[in-house]
């Protein structure tokens, strides 16, 4: 379980900040995601960031992510769990994850791994904990 959490945290870190400089500055990451300027990132702000990422990994352009494409959207050791996560996220039962399912997966990640205090927000402190988990 620890490897899966670390892999997801790594994926989140790389997806949001794209480099080590942002990883060292949690306030910068929160400010980037914080569209209403309340000093925190809520689930909607997080999902707004994630929404266009489906197209980034949809290599065949069919509007969904097949297992291989989904695996490529994950980082590090979380790739080892791709089939299990794909199956659980695939609520509609198709051969691909729809935009709704993809965002559902990311909502789950936010609620289970990012929002440690379960207040509905990712704070700079929680971002720091995500970075520490991969580190």
Give the Cα separation of 48 and 99 in Å (integer).
Answer: 12
Q: Global pTM?
A: 0.79
Q: How many Cβ atoms from other residues are within 10 Å of residue 103's Cβ?
A: 19
pLDDT in tens, 28-68: 889 999 999 988 899 999 999 999 999 999 999 999 999 99
In the chain the domains, ranked by start, together with CATH numbers, are: 2-134 (1.10.238)
């Amino acid at each position: 379980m620890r490897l899966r959490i670390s892999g997801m945290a790594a994926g989140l870190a790389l997806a949001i900040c794209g480099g080590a400089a942002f990883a060292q500055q949690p306030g910068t990451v929160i400010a980037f995601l914080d569209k209403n300027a309340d000093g925190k990132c809520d689930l909607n702000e997080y999902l707004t960031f994630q929404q266009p990422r489906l197209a980034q990994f949809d290599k065949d352009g069919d509007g969904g992510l097949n297992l291989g494409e989904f695996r490529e959207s994950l980082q590090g050791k979380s790739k080892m769990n791709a089939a299990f996560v794909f199956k659980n996220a695939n609520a509609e039962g198709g051969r691909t994850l729809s935009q709704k399912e993809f965002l559902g997966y990311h909502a789950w990640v936010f609620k289970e791994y990012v929002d440690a205090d379960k207040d509905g927000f990712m704070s700079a402190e929680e971002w720091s904990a995500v970075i520490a988990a991969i580190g």
